């Protein structure tokens, strides 16, 4: 497949743009300000119109400055309004968005009526973007921005971490949390402003939100999250541009966004640990483990010749399929021995069953002594217990059980 130089430029530019959006989006996600991007993106409109009216030219630089100023204004308003009034964050964001964008629309109307040259096509371009027309200079701009942003984030990593996680700690860490916050907002505003001509208003917000949300599924670490968001953003830019170049009538912006969405869905489903499939499988396997454990416990009961009441209380409801699987798993692991008439626990299997019983006892002991919960209501697995209770606590509880002489 031959890629024309022009397409290459666009590819690189989109990739760089995606990287920027992914990086800044991760920061916004961590500060729980995902929708700020949408508000800022819409708020650039009045700034652009005013710049056009005042500057008289349609040079991107002039309009860009106007967009940046009104972007910063809207970001400031969204932060300040909750602080000085009782307006809450979501209402502030929605109001700023609606009012400023409405003002922008009104200004567009004025410009159109006054015949100064603004056209509906121009406005649509701003809303939807025109990646196809990306110039070399724009791509260069994106590339430089991506590099600068990466540099800033790498060098200010700990400052950003404190600002996002625990701003009150800033004073103790000698980090000016407010200033760092302003820096992040400015980066967001700048990213949106430079992305506008290429991707359009709504889709810029998309690129800021979606890659970061997708990245969150893959990791529980700050640095890795930033890297993966950047990667997914870059991949979206790349894939989207490639795909849209195959169909000449598809604008690249939406295709890039849908690529990001696809990556989001893939992350949602497939990410190990936090992904849906993974969690589902974890739950399944834990359920199966529990069924095997209960199965072994049942055998232990009969071997200890416990009274039928106790046995009945412990028998869970099973199906034939579950029974079969229990048998297969248990014998494969060497926990039971079967001959034609009975099933018997191996020493290993017995050890396992006894230990499981003890763990359950400990758990119930803890619940009744510390948490005052009726012991019959709770039934947890070994792993849960070891995860929730620290080892020293388990020892303490075990000692108190032994001391009490319960078997």
CA distance 222 to 376: 41
Rule CB under 8 A: say whether 330 interacts with other proteins. Answer: no
Contact 160, 153 (CB under 8 A): yes
Rule CB under 8 A: say whether 124 interacts with other proteins. Answer: yes
Q: Which of 2, 115, 249, 404 binds other proteins (CB under 8 A)?
A: 249
Query: Quick one: which of 294, 305, 267 has its CA closest to 352?
Result: 294
Q: Which of 3, 54, 57, 85 binds other proteins (CB under 8 A)?
A: 85
Residue the block writes with tokens 């002594």: 369
Binding mask 253-292 for other proteins (x = CB under 8 A): xxx-xx-xx--x---x-----x-x----------------
Query: Quick one: which of 145, 155, 135, 129 has its CA closest to 19?
Result: 145
Q: Which of 62, 65, 105, 385 binds other proteins (CB under 8 A)?
A: 105
Rule CB under 8 A: say whether 401 interacts with other proteins. Answer: no
CA 63 to chain centre: 33
Of residues 251 and 349, the one with the C-beta less far from other proteins: 251
Residue the block writes with tokens 């009441």: 309
Contact 74, 40 (CB under 8 A): yes
Q: In 10 A of CB 249, how many CB atoms?
A: 5
Radius of gyration, CA atoms only, the chain: 30
Q: In DSSP terms, which residues pair with 179 in a beta bridge?
A: none
Q: Which of residues 44-73 bind other proteins (CB under 8 A)?
A: none
Q: Which of 3, 57, 61, 98 binds other proteins (CB under 8 A)?
A: 98
CA distance 42 to 24: 17
Minimum gap (Å) between residue 58 Cβ and other proteins: 20
Binding mask 2-41 for other proteins (x = CB under 8 A): ---------------------------xx-xxxx-xx---
Of residues 253 and 298, the one with the C-beta less far from other proteins: 253
Rule CB under 8 A: say whether 171 interacts with other proteins. Answer: yes
CA distance 272 to 197: 37
Q: How far is CA 151 from CA 23, 72, 146, 176, 366, in A?
A: 11, 22, 9, 19, 51
Rule CB under 8 A: say whether 132 interacts with other proteins. Answer: no
Q: Which of residues 186-215 bind other proteins (CB under 8 A)?
A: 202-203, 205-206, 209-210, 212-213
Of residues 136 and 157, the one with the C-beta less far from other proteins: 157
Rule CB under 8 A: say whether 159 interacts with other proteins. Answer: yes
Of residues 106 and 310, the one with the C-beta less far from other proteins: 106
Minimum gap (Å) between residue 322 Cβ and other proteins: 26
């Amino acid at each position: 497949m031959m890629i024309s130089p022009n397409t290459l430029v666009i590819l690189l530019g989109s990739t760089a743009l995606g990287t920027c959006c992914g990086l800044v989006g991760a920061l916004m996600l961590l500060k729980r300000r995902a929708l700020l991007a949408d508000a800022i993106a819409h708020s650039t409109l009045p700034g652009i119109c005013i710049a056009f009216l005042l500057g008289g030219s349609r040079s991107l630089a002039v309009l860009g400055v106007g967009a940046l100023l009104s972007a910063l204004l809207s970001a400031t308003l969204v932060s300040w309004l909750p602080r000085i009034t009782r307006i809450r964050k979501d209402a502030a964001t929605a109001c700023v968005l609606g009012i400023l964008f409405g003002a922008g629309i009104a200004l567009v109307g004025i410009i159109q009526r006054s015949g100064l040259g603004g056209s509906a096509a121009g406005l649509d371009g701003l809303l939807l973007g025109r990646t196809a027309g990306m110039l070399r200079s724009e791509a260069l701009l994106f590339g430089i921005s991506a590099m600068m942003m990466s540099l800033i984030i790498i060098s200010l990593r700990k400052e950003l971490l404190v600002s996002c996680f625990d701003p009150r700690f800033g004073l103790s860490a000698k980090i000016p949390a407010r200033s760092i916050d302003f820096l992040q907002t400015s980066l967001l505003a700048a990213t949106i402003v430079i992305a506008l001509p290429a991707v359009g208003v709504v889709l810029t917000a998309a690129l800021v939100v979606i890659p970061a949300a997708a990245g969150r599924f893959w990791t529980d670490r700050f640095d890795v999250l930033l890297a993966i968001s950047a990667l997914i953003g870059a991949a979206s830019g790349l894939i989207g541009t490639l795909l849209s170049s195959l169909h000449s009538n598809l604008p690249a912006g939406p295709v890039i966004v849908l690529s990001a969405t696809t990556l989001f869905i893939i992350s949602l489903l497939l990410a190990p640990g936090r992904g849906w499939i993974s969690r589902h499988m974890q739950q399944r396997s834990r359920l199966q483990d529990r069924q095997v454990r209960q199965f072994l416990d049942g055998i232990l009961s009969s071997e200890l010749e416990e009274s039928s009441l106790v046995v009945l209380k412990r028998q869970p409801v099973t199906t034939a399929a579950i029974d079969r699987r229990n048998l297969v798993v248990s014998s494969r692991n060497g926990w039971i021995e079967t001959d034609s008439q009975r099933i018997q626990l191996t020493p290993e299997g017995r050890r396992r069953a006894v230990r499981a019983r003890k763990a359950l006892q400990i758990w119930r002991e803890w619940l009744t002594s510390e948490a005052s919960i009726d012991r019959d209501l709770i039934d947890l697995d070994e792993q849960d217990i070891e995860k929730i209770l620290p080892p020293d606590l388990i020892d303490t509880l075990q000692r108190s059980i032994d001391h009490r002489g319960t078997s």
